């Protein structure tokens, strides 16, 4: 056993075991415990309900004790818009975390685009609460989402070292390019980058996220373009009563992380300010055997901030305005290869209600982004590096979104529409022998608008949803100016393109005896190529990808069917889902030419790809503060047609493994919590020709936290405990994922009054 990781394990074990349990003076015929909010702050005045009847309220330290008549009685805690529930025998010391109702409703909102809760949702949905995100051994949000077995970025690396252009999401084994085939939302607002389609994982302070919902399977029937593999909804935390929290952490690889949040409320008006500062020296991503003088650690420095202003309105309405800022600088593993992002985003929203049967939502949003990147060429022994290109991209976005629901006793009618307008300018300067050789200036515009209708119904254990959306996608005003050192500039205009798309979906569910649920659905979905894919040349490592302005939209057809079982006392749950998705004209990268040190690819529409397989899940809560979560995905993802290169037919989709498995063991009791997380990923290929193999890997992570005081918690986190080698890319040089990483931190919380 290597001392390098043996000592951290011992330290984590001591932290976890040395805390002695608080002695109890309660009688053995009581249920007692403590109620805290999502930040770990004790909640005073929370109402304790047994069988729907108020029995007690929590004291100043959030503690309570009740004496029920029967054993194993259902218990519920209510405080404002927060709640928690449990079933416990006599003498149990409960640690209950209050969560907003949005955590419970987020699955319904994501899958049906409405707060109407009616029957069983005919989709595969997983919601990760704030506690599951916080108490997970990771540095960034994308790493925390890897506890979902089907989730992976385009490459296996983390956003704290990866180039942003490789941070598209793959769900259901559909893969991705720089662009994501999964749509990421927050409060109905798309977060996919307007120019490139990738995700800015470091955009939001962690304290401002209440939960994350992952709905796998096509979602274009409700949300339009990009929701081919599914929809990920980042549920924002709402401003509340007085709160102040600070998280201070340090980690190996010269890493520091500071974040915090403050809430204020005066009458119907509330405000929240949150922010984060993160920096790491990173690690050298190129494999040791081929490193040269030019290889330096890949790193990131970023700061983000968020301001929310909200006001409650009559009839349970709510209006708000928020702004979010991200400033990020990446080093991509050599002195010259760097990139940076400055993103400002704003959202205004209104949730309204008219009577007891009609409610709806309106959103207006926009963003302004500046992105820069530099590229280089490196010699065979990686001893010298020369600048080859500088890029500057400016993107502006404006959008509106609205929906409304009218619900009867057993039927709900939902309708809505969206408009998203994107304008971008890509300014590039090629270099040769250290001097600029000209300019390439491309400006373009994309506009999406669409509307949808949905019927949701439930009766006698049956429930179903039928939805249809129509979208118009437009590429407009595309002009390119090219000038070389020896020639006059030339202007090229690309004709405007318009494309109309219909996206239907039908889902049916059935509640069976013995707590079994069945569901099945069929859908059509689409994704329009991004301006990055159409007009911009990109580079990761020594792999250059050429743009293709002739790309067409991807069209997907899919079906899925599954079963869900829950034990009578909800101590165990099992899920199994079969899925099949076929994408026509998928945008992929195809080999054009290569040398020993570099590869040139071209974005093209392949004929067809197909992913079919199964997703399995299991959750167990044996009691005594223990819980276990397991997930597994098998995805047979291959090219099924490509007339231009028949040799690709039958080959694997790049960066998609056949087998992925995850598991988390959690313990939470009193002031202590512990998480042990494991992830296994099968082999994959990094290219369409299946030449560059990425081997299977297994990682083990651990997290331990102890509440030292009412307002103070200390925690330790360890990633890749076994220090296994994770192959992330061959471009064509082999690059590696996160090595062993140790982190320690302190959280300070001052309660809600």
Asked if residue 209 lies in contact with residue 235, where contact means CB atoms within 8 angstroms, the answer is yes
Condensed to tens digits (0 to 9), the pLDDT of residues 668-689 reads 888 899 999 999 999 999 988 8
Nearest to 458 by CA among 524, 508, 403: 508
In what side-by-side order are the strands of the sheet with 587-594? 538-540, 543-546, 599-605, 587-594
Is residue 26 classed as helix, strand or coil in its secondary structure?
Answer: coil
Nearest to 445 by CA among 425, 428, 472, 471: 425
Architecture of domain 26-97: Sandwich (2.60)
Is residue 352 classed as helix, strand or coil in its secondary structure?
Answer: strand
Please state, in angstroms and rounded to a whole number, the distance separating the CA atoms of residues 166 and 222.
Answer: 26
Q: Is the pLDDT of residue 608 over 60?
A: yes
Mean pLDDT (whole number) for 394-415: 93
Per-residue tokens: 589: 């990268």
> Picking from 304-308, 548-552, 573-577, which range would have the lowest pLDDT averaged per residue?
548-552
Please state, in angstroms and rounded to a whole number, the distance separating the CA atoms of residues 528 and 197.
Answer: 10
Residue 496 banded pLDDT, cuts 50, 70, 90: very high
Please state, in angstroms and rounded to a whole number, the distance separating the CA atoms of residues 537 and 540.
Answer: 11
φ, ψ for residue 669 (rounded to 5)? -155, 125
Who wins on pLDDT, 575 or 40? 575
φ, ψ for residue 735 (rounded to 5)? -120, 155
> Picking from 44-48, 78-82, 284-288, 660-664, which range would have the lowest pLDDT averaged per residue?
78-82
Looking up tokens 């974040």 gives: 259
Mean pLDDT (whole number) for 472-481: 94
Q: What confidence score (pLDDT) does residue 118 get? A: 67
Please state, in angstroms and rounded to a whole number, the distance separating the CA atoms of residues 387 and 385.
Answer: 7
Segment (H or E) for 616? strand 608-623
Nearest to 701 by CA among 143, 18, 2, 19: 143
User: What are the residue boundaries of the structural domains of the chain, listed by start?
Assistant: 26-97, 102-474+495-750
Please state, in angstroms and rounded to a whole number, the distance separating the CA atoms of residues 736 and 728.
Answer: 5
Asked if residue 675 lies in contact with residue 134, where contact means CB atoms within 8 angstroms, the answer is no
Q: What confidence score (pLDDT) does residue 26 get? A: 41
DSSP readout, 325-349? EEEEEEE-SSSS-EEEEEEEEEEEE
Mean pLDDT (whole number) for 92-108: 65
Is residue 234 classed as helix, strand or coil in its secondary structure?
Answer: strand
Please state, in angstroms and rounded to a whole number, the distance separating the CA atoms of residues 307 and 132.
Answer: 24
Condensed to tens digits (0 to 9), the pLDDT of residues 193-233 reads 999 999 999 999 999 999 999 999 999 999 999 999 999 99
Residue 23 banded pLDDT, cuts 50, 70, 90: very low
Q: What confidence score (pLDDT) does residue 7 get? A: 38
Percentage with pLDDT > 70 across the chain: 89
| Residues facing residue 63 across a β-bridge | 34
Condensed to tens digits (0 to 9), the pLDDT of residues 497-548 reads 999 999 999 999 999 988 899 999 999 999 999 998 898 877 665 677 888 8
Percentage with pLDDT > 90 across the chain: 60
Q: Is the pLDDT of residue 2 over 50?
A: no
Q: Is the pLDDT of residue 427 over 80?
A: yes
Beta strand segments in 21-177, E: 31-36, 47-50, 53-57, 63-66, 73-79, 82-88, 93-97, 99-100, 124-129, 152-153, 169-170
Asked if residue 664 lies in contact with residue 146, where contact means CB atoms within 8 angstroms, the answer is no
Give the mean pLDDT of the chain. Answer: 87
Identify the CATH number of the domain defined by range 102-474+495-750: 2.40.170.20
Per-residue tokens: 411: 């039927």
Is residue 350 classed as helix, strand or coil in its secondary structure?
Answer: strand
Q: Is the pLDDT of residue 632 over 90?
A: yes
Asked if residue 508 lies in contact with residue 519, where contact means CB atoms within 8 angstroms, the answer is yes
Neighbours of 622 (CB within 10 A): 10
Question: What pTM does this model have?
Answer: 0.86
Separation of first and last alpha carbons in the chain:
49
Q: What confidence score (pLDDT) does residue 700 get? A: 98
Condensed to tens digits (0 to 9), the pLDDT of residues 558-571 reads 999 999 999 887 78
Peptide bond into 280 cis (omega under 30): no
Who wins on pLDDT, 599 or 387? 387
Asked if residue 620 lies in contact with residue 666, where contact means CB atoms within 8 angstroms, the answer is no
Per-residue tokens: 105: 């409703």
Mean pLDDT (whole number) for 153-173: 86
Cα pseudo-dihedral 277, 279, 212, 33, rounded to 10: -70
Please state, in angstroms and rounded to a whole number, the distance separating the CA atoms of residues 700 and 679.
Answer: 7
553 alpha carbon, distance to own chain's centre: 24
- Residue 627, Cβ density class (10 Å: 0-12 exposed, 13-18 middle, ≥19 buried): middle
> Picking from 21-30, 729-738, 740-749, which range would have the lowest pLDDT averaged per residue?
21-30
Q: Is the pLDDT of residue 12 over 50?
A: no
Q: What confidence score (pLDDT) does residue 562 get? A: 95
Mean pLDDT (whole number) for 473-482: 93
Q: What confidence score (pLDDT) does residue 274 get? A: 97
Q: What confidence score (pLDDT) does residue 20 get? A: 35
């Amino acid at each position: 056993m290597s001392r390098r990781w043996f000592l951290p394990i011992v330290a984590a074990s001591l932290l976890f075991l040395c805390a002695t349990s608080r002695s109890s003076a309660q009688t053995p015929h009581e249920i007692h415990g403590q109620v805290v909010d999502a930040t770990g702050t004790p909640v005073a005045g929370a109402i304790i309900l047994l069988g729907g009847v108020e029995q007690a309220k929590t004291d100043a330290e959030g503690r309570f004790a009740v004496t029920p008549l029967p054993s194993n009685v259902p218990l519920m805690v209510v405080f404002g818009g927060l709640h928690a529930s449990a079933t416990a025998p006599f003498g149990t010391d409960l640690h209950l975390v209050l969560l907003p109702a949005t955590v419970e409703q987020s699955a319904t909102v994501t899958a049906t685009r409405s707060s109407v809760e009616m029957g069983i949702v005919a989709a595969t949905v997983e919601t990760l609460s704030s506690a599951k995100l916080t108490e997970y051994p990771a540095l960034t949000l994308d790493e925390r989402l890897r506890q979902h077995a089907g989730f992976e970025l385009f490459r296996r690396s983390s956003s704290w070292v990866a180039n942003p252009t490789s941070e598209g999401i793959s769900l259901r084994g559909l893969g991705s390019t720089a662009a994501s085939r999964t749509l990421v939302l927050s409060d109905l607002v798309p977060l996919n980058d307007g120019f490139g389609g990738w995700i800015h994982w470091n955009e939001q302070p962690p304290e401002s996220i209440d939960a994350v919902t992952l709905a796998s399977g096509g979602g274009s029937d409700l949300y339009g373009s990009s929701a081919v593999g599914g929809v990920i909804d980042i549920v924002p935390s709402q401003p509340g009563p007085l709160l102040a929290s600070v998280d201070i952490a340090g980690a190996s690889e010269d890493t520091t992380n500071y974040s915090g949040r403050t809430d204020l409320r005066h009458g119907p008006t509330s405000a929240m300010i949150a922010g984060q500062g993160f920096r790491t020296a990173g690690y050298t991503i190129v494999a040791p055997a081929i490193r040269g003088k030019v290889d330096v650690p890949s790193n990131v420095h970023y700061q983000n901030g968020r301001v929310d202003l909200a006001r409650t309105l009559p009839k349970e309405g709510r209006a708000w305005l928020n702004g979010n800022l991200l400033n990020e600088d990446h080093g991509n593993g050599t002195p010259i290869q760097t990139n940076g992002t400055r993103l400002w985003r704003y959202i205004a929203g209104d949730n309204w209600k008219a009577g007891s049967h009609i409610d709806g939502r309106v959103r207006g949003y926009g963003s302004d982004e500046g992105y820069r990147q530099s590229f280089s060429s490196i010699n065979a022994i990686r001893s010298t590096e020369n600048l080859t290109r500088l890029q500057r991209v400016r993107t502006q976005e404006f959008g509106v979104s609205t929906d409304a629901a009218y619900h009867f006793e057993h039927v709900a009618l939902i309708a809505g529409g969206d408009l998203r307008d994107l304008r971008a300018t890509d300014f590039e300067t090629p270099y040769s022998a250290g001097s600029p050789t000209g300019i390439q200036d491309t400006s373009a515009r994309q506009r999406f608008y669409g509307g949808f209708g949905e019927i949701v119904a439930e009766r006698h254990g049956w429930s179903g949803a039928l939805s249809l959306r129509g979208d118009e996608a437009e590429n407009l005003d595309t002009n390119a100016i090219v000038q070389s050192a020896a020639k006059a500039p030339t202007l090229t205009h690309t004709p405007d393109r318009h494309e109309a798309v219909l996206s239907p979906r039908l889902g049916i569910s059935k509640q069976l005896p013995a707590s079994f649920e069945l569901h099945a659905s069929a859908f059509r979905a689409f994704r329009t190529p991004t301006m990055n894919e159409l007009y911009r040349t990109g580079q990761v490592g020594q792999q250059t990808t050429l743009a293709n302005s002739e790309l067409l939209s991807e069209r997907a057809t899919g079906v899925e069917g599954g079963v869900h079982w829950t034990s009578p006392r909800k101590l165990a749950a099992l899920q199994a889902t079969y899925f099949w998705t076929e994408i026509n004209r998928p945008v992929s990268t195809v080999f054009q030419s290569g040398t020993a040190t570099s590869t040139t690819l071209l974005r093209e529409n392949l004929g067809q790809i197909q992913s079919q397989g199964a997703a399995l899940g299991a959750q167990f809560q044996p009691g005594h503060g223990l819980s276990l979560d397991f997930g597994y995905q098998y995805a047979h993802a291959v090219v099924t047609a490509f007339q231009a290169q028949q040799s690709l037919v039958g080959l694997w989709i790049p960066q998609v493994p056949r087998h992925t498995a995850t598991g988390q063991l959690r313990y939470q009791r009193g002031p202590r919590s512990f998480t042990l997380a494991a992830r296994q990923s099968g082999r994959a290929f990094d290219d369409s020709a299946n030449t560059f193999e990425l081997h299977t890997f297994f990682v083990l992570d651990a997290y331990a936290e102890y509440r030292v005081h009412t307002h103070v918690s200390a925690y330790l986190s360890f990633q890749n405990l076994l220090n296994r080698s994770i192959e992330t890319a061959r471009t064509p040089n082999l690059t590696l994922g996160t090595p062993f990483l140790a982190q320690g931190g302190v959280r300070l919380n001052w309660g809600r009054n």
